[in-house]
Chain A
Amino acid sequence: MTKKLKKRLRRIILGAAAFVAAIFLEHSIFTPESRIILLPYLIAYAIIGGDVVKKALMNIRRGQIFDENFLTLIATVGAFFVGEYPEAAAVMLFYQIGEWFQSYAVNRSRKSIRELMDIRPDYANVLREGEELVLDPEEVRIGEIIRIKPGERVPLDGVVVKGSGSLDTMALTGESMPRDVHPGEEIISGCINLNSVLEAEVTKVFGESTVNRILELVENASSEKAVTEQFITRFARYYTPVVVILAALLAVIPPIFVGNFPAWLYRALTFLVISCPCALVISIPLSFFGGLGGASKAGILVKGSNYLEILAETELVVMDKTGTLTKGSFVVSEIASEGEITEEELLYLTALAESFSNHPISLSIKNCCKKTLSLEEIENSEERAGYGVITAWKGRKIFVGNEKLMAEQGIAVPALEKPGTICHVACEGEEQKEYLGYLVVTDEIKEDAASCIKKLYASGVKRIVMLTGDRKITAQDVAGRLGIKEIYAELLPQDKLNIVERLFSEKSEKGKLVFVGDGINDTPVLARADIGIAMGGMGADAAIEAADVVIMNDQPSKIATAMAISRKTLVIVKENIVFALGIKVLVLLLAALGTASMWAAVFADVGVAFLAILNAMRAMKVKEGKGTR
Chain B
Amino acid sequence: MKKTYFLEDLDCAHCAGLIEEKVGKLPGVSESRVTLLTQKLIVEVEESKATGLLKEIKKIVKKVEPDVEVLEK
Contacts and interface: CB of A to CB of B under 8 A. Distances in A.
Interface of A: 2, 4, 62, 68, 99, 102-103, 106-107, 109-110, 113, 219-220, 222-223, 225, 233, 236, 276, 278, 281-282, 285-286, 289
Contacts of A236: 14, 17
B9 interface: yes
Contacts, number: 48
A223 B14 CA distance: 16
A563 to B, nearest CB: 23
Q: How large is the interface on B (under 10, 10 to 19, 20 to 34, 35 or more residues)?
A: 10 to 19
Given A4-B9, A110-B38, A223-B35, 16 more contacts: A103-B12, A106-B36, A106-B37, A107-B11, A219-B40, A222-B37, A223-B40, A223-B42, A225-B33, A278-B14, A281-B14, A282-B13, A285-B13, A285-B36, A286-B37, A289-B37
Contact of A99 (B12, B40, B42): B12
B46 interface: no
B59 interface: no
A276 B37 CA distance: 20
Interface in B1-60: 9, 11-14, 17, 33, 35-40, 42
B17 A222 contact: no
A419 B8 CA distance: 60
B61 to A, nearest CB: 14
B13 A110 contact: no
A281 B17 contact: yes
The 9 A-B pairs at the shortest CB distance, nearest first, are namely A103-B11, A281-B13, A282-B13, A289-B37, A106-B11, A223-B35, A222-B35, A223-B33, A219-B38
Nearest to A283: B13
Name the residue in A2, A102, A282 with the highest tally of chain B Cβ atoms < 10 Å from its Cβ: A282
B12 A233 contact: no
Contacts of A219: 38, 40
B25 to A, nearest CB: 15
B26 to A, nearest CB: 17
Contacts of A4: 9, 67
B33 A68 contact: no
Contact of B11 (A68, A102, A285, A289): A102
B1 to A, nearest CB: 16
B17 A233 contact: yes
Contacts of A102: 11-13
B44 to A, nearest CB: 11
Contacts of B11: 102-103, 106-107
